[in-house]
Structure 1
């Protein structure tokens, strides 16, 4: 079963940056919907695409992703 966040993980994988910071708005553009609390449970899925979810800033409204080595 595909996660609703899979387009985001594929976006990260295609980007290939070591560190990538995306605003909530950018993430919403990639996904087609705003992230919500389910994102916290889904963030472990990013590992399968070579990334870990780093800092999630509620105040600054961005998420930092780190490429696995």
Structure 2
């Protein structure tokens, strides 16, 4: 089980074609601060039918897109 499993499951349950979450929202969902390891773990998201679209450090947001 990954430290981001709660986040991946949340995104999958939401079912939206695209979803934008702030770093704070990710913290609330996953229960952890988002850090550089997110880049390594993000590949797990494809197992849930989604991928990371864009990470904005300036806006402190991440866009997730459903894989068609």
Instruction: Indicate the TM-score class for this superposition, using the shorter chain for normalisation.
Output: over 0.9
2:45 corresponding residue in structure 1 = 46
Q: Distance in 2 between matches of 1:66 and 1:32?
A: 22
Distance in 1, matches of 2:53 and 2:33, equals 18
Instruction: Give the length in aligned residue pairs.
Output: 68
Taking structure 2 as the reference length, what is the TM-score of the superposition?
0.98
CA distance in 2, matches of 1:31, 1:5: 6
Segments of structure 2 that go 5 or more residues without pairing to the other structure are none
Q: CA RMSD in A?
A: 0.4
Unmatched segments (≥5 aa) in structure 1:
none
Give the aligned partner of residue 26 of structure 2.
Answer: 27
TM-score, normalization by structure 1:
0.97
Moved over 6 A (4+): none
Deviation at 1:33, TM superposition (A): 1.2
